[in-house]
A and B are shown apart, each in its own frame.
Chain A
Amino acid sequence: MHRRTLLAGVAMTLGLLATGAVAQEPLKVGFIYVGVPGDGGWTYQHDQARKEMEAHFGGKVVTSAIENVPEGADAERAITQLALDGNKLIFTTSFGFMDATANVAAKFPDVKFEHATGYKLAPNLSVYDARFYEGRAVIGTIAGRMTKSNKIGYIGSFPIPEVIQGINSSFIHARKVNPNVEMKIVWAYSWFDPAKEADAASALIAEGVDVILQHTDSTAPQAKAQEAGIYSFGQASDMAAYKPKPRIASIIDHWTPYYIDRVQAVLDGKWESKASWTGIKEGTVQIGEITEAVPAEVKAEAEAVQAKIADGSYHPFTGPLKKQDGSDWLADGQVATDAELQGMNFFVEGITAEYPK
């Protein structure tokens, strides 16, 4: 109790100081990363966006970042540290920071918080996410066409809705172009562990998989795919170093416009708590170059899917779709609601892997 009042007091003092000197002092913006910017994937993209945002505002904004923060109790300490350091806007960039962010936000009412991929809102806490599953629809199409063994592999991180959406969307679209396709799923239970991701890729390759999709942050599976001479897709970042093979396309997270938008809102005093979920249409989700290893007609097919998603004429989760147990989910032409997607906790029909419970 005492500590909390003290923290709040310190925060308020800092707040008063900051507002008092608003004309000269640049706005301080803090970031919490689950991995390191050098992962070449998820955290790298956030870090790039942070730098681009800072450059965009010239000297008006100063940013700082804490790397490699574990998801759990320690995250709360790191976020509190940023708040005490006088950051007025704090981005926490992993799902597992959700509770920690909400707790710290309650203690610092005059600091604005933005949590990536979560769903807990507060007057000073926004959430933002990207519709990665839209990108998955495009690369799932390519995967379904490119596999010769009809087995595609998927390295999952944690069974949370964001990842489940990706698995389902990839599978649905691979099946659409190749009815014989099967999907093998391995859970790494980590966002970032290159050795384990490499082992997971090897395990999938040993099972006869010849296309690998990953939802983990490092480029280790790309290296394994290259060794085995099979195909892979860049995840979160372009992973261009593995072009033109094994990486034949990628899903790129592009956070810069959102970061600029939100920082501008704070500068203008117009920041409001909201849930933002944008995708291919808004440019948050981009598809990296589809390389020459992909036949032209497959590339055209994938780009058609992308175009239909971009202009809003097609939703990746459109009925008829059934759940894994055969029960009905979406009727013909029916489209999944955002609420359904954000709570997605089942595989669609056709995936044979056990849903992790």
Chain B
Amino acid sequence: MTLGGIDIVMLIASMMVAATPILLAATGEMVAEKAGVLNLGVEGMMIMGAIGGFGAAVLTGSPVIGFLAAAAAGVVMALLFAVLTLKLLSNQVATGLALTLFGLGLSALLGQGLQGIKPPPTARLPLGPLADLPVLGPIVFGHDWVVYLSLALVVAVRWYLARTRGGLVLRAVGENPDAAHALGYPVVRVRVLALAFGGALAGLGGAYLSLVRVPQWTEGMTAGAGWIALAIVVFASWRAERVLLGAYLFGGITVLQLRLQAAGVAIPVQILSMAPYLITILVLVVMSARGGRARLQAPAALGRPFVAVR
């Protein structure tokens, strides 16, 4: 199946790969924001995951251990953020920015000597003959396990937030921490856990870059992916299924514009390069034009420090 000289099936398959890092990071950040904490350090957590995962995978020869280490690195970064903003009540925006800068610097330091090394390959899931099916094979069955994990996490997060008691408490903490506190819920603990979850997913997203998508370690290799993840959370109005849509849309256009160029389609390349950002802005405009509902969907206590009065 081709369109304008481009194999649509391969395009969708590569779009899923391109979208996975931002999908992971955005899902995690959404959970943290649902609990009322704005962590702008996604980029820093991602790059720490990228180097942590890469280092561990190279040392042990196991990409699985690499991804686990990446999640751990993300959690450590997130806990650092939690101590600063929830315990010491520092400004969340400033602390998040600092976390990004810190992560970029520290990862560069840790990455000395890891350049030009090839990581152990992350295997495709052994789905046997299924992967050879036409059309469905490459799209549905042809990926590595992290792609499936990221999709499963979207479903799990959606289910958890909407259907479980824990999810309800998390949302309550994000909407009205004082009320949640009065009801006896541990606001700070819920927020710490949400941040840690966000950190783990950002770390996984970073490791997906350094272990699968690129795959190698290069300083500063996230190149803004964390910021795109943050934008996608707003774009998705804090809903898991829209995070998925946003990430795949963004990943899709990124890949599509490169494929169109390679196929020699006569569309001005600057417009193509602009397209992902342009569409993000367009969607944001359309959404906020609907009577400011997008803003209403933000967790009410997002970014506000919580102090337990009594």
Contact = CB atoms under 8 A, between A and B. Distances in A.
A190 B108 CA distance: 20
A298 interface: no
A68 B101 CA distance: 12
B254 A199 contact: yes
A218 B270 contact: no
Interface in B86-139: 108, 111-112, 115-118
A38 B215 CA distance: 15
A178 to B, nearest CB: 19
B116 A189 contact: no
B18 interface: yes
A51 to B, nearest CB: 14
A194 B221 contact: yes
Given A38-B112, A187-B261, A206-B14, A194 B214 contact: yes
A203 B255 contact: yes
Nearest to B109: A38
A238 to B, nearest CB: 10
Contacts of B214: 194-195, 198, 220, 223-224
B264 interface: yes
Interface in A322-357: 352-354, 356-357
B282 interface: no
Contact of B219 (A36, A207, A241): A36
B273 interface: yes
A218 B18 CA distance: 18
A194 B270 contact: no
Contact of A356 (B21, B112, B221, B269): B269
A279 to B, nearest CB: 26
Interface string A182-202: 001111011011111011101
B223 A38 contact: no
Nearest to B259: A203
A194 B254 CA distance: 14
Interface of B: 7, 10, 14, 18, 21, 108, 111-112, 115-118, 209, 213-216, 218-223, 225, 254-255, 258-259, 261-264, 266, 268-270, 273
13 contacts: A38-B111, A38-B112, A39-B218, A40-B218, A192-B220, A194-B218, A195-B222, A199-B14, A199-B254, A203-B261, A219-B115, A240-B116, A242-B116
Interface of A: 35-40, 68, 153, 184-187, 189-190, 192-196, 198-200, 202-204, 206-207, 209, 218-220, 223-224, 226-227, 239-242, 352-354, 356-357
